[in-house]
Amino acid sequence: MTAYLILIAGALYLVELAFYSLAGRKARKPRKGPFPFQKLPKVSVVVAAKDEEENLQACLESLVSVDYPRDLLEIVVVNDQSADGTPAIIDRVAGEYGFVRRIDAVEGTDMRGKANALSQGIDRAQGEFIFLTDADCTVPVTWISGTLKHFEEKTGIVGGVTLISKTDNVLSGIQSLDWDFLLSIGSAAATIGKPLACLGNNLAFRKKAYEDVGGYRKIRFSVTEDYALFKAIAESGRWDYRYPMDRQTLVETLPLGTLKEVFAQRKRWATGGKDTGLFGVLTLAPGFLFHWSMIVTAILAPAMFPLLLLLKLLLDALFVFPVLKFYGKIVHLKFIVYFEIYYLIYVAILPFSVYLGKAITWKGRKY
């Protein structure tokens, strides 16, 4: 019975990886054709920052260095009720660069959390295109120009890949491979017309598309406000969307410092992911079943477990290798043994935590 369970679950998992591997090849294909704008548009970058004094300086330094005309660029940093030195950092950079400005988010609206801060920043942004990133991220100099090339006339929103910047210990290495897997599947799924995920630390959209769906004020609250916005524009029927893998638009983010923080972040993502519908469930099911079949094997037939773990390691390495090679992140594979152990536990228990667990706490706020 155990052998049949492993065989069925393993076959489903293999089919899933093969399916997303083929879709990922399409997502990595370079865009063909001329740059879609004869006249460069006005662009606004909006960053919501809450208690980010340790990270914000590096983020802003990368943003003011992008290769986009400064007379067509503004950077709006929303101070989301920070209790540290975040406002002072914003003011210092704004004093040096005239296209950087600070906005202080206020409570009392009908929105909560980060969506409230972003909404206030977007409302006051003057750009035709809005770019979002997070205070713990750094962007490449080609981020804006590289993203704009993916906008056609009816493209309303474009997502981008974000990967971990530092892998100097096991915990950061585990997170790096986790992001590699999640973003590979997210980009591949969107490329075949099934948007399952996106990250608000690498996201761009037409302000008109944002206003057409009512902005964050009209979108049902989600702890993953970025995916809720992507989904609203993608399903509006008025706008197309893109989620390419592109070296020019790769954003890098810092790893979290503790396993508790990692699990809280993944729980928040998974909670927001409940809105992905049947296709999302079908995407998650093979991995969930295969991981649980491995746990059952470890209990009932422990001699088989190392072989099964090795097999899964090889499958996962083959799946993620093309993406890591594409982005020059092959070094992440040195953590794959640790990742497999972490992933086995994480995938098996996360659904129960999402549906049976307590409220989510993020940035000191409960949802």
Q: What percent of the chain has pLDDT over 90?
A: 57
Q: Which part of the chain is CATH 3.90.550.10?
A: 41-258
> What's the whole-number mean pLDDT along residues 155-160?
96
For residue 40, the model assigns a pLDDT of: 96
Nearest to 269 by CA among 171, 328, 324, 198: 198
Q: Which residues pair with 163 in a beta bridge?
A: 252
Task: Check pLDDT > 90 for residue 225.
Answer: no
> What's the whole-number mean pLDDT along residues 246-266?
91
Query: What does the pLDDT look like over 5-59, one tens digit per residue?
Result: 788 888 899 999 999 999 999 999 988 878 888 899 999 999 999 999 999 999 9
Mean pLDDT in the chain? Answer: 89
Q: Which residue has the higher pLDDT, 207 or 112?
A: 207
Q: Residues 205, 219: contact at Cβ < 8 Å? A: no
Q: Which two tokens stand for residue 67?
A: 């290769």
Task: Check pLDDT > 70 for residue 359.
Answer: no
Q: Residues 266, 346: contact at Cβ < 8 Å? A: yes
> What distance in Å separates the CA atoms of residue 362 and residue 340, rounded to the nearest whole number?
26
Q: Which two tokens stand for residue 291?
A: 């991981």
Task: Check pLDDT > 90 for residue 146.
Answer: yes
For residue 5, the model assigns a pLDDT of: 75
Helices H, strands E: what count in the chain?
Answer: 13, 12
Q: Which residue has the higher pLDDT, 238 or 7?
A: 238
3-state SS assignment for residue 164: strand
Q: Which residue has the higher pLDDT, 256 or 352?
A: 256
Tell me, which fold does domain 41-258 have in CATH?
A: Spore Coat Polysaccharide Biosynthesis Protein SpsA; Chain A (3.90.550)
For residue 144, the model assigns a pLDDT of: 98
Q: Which residues in 7-35 are b (16+ Cβ under 10 Å) and which e? A: eebbebbbebbebbbebbeebbeeeeeee
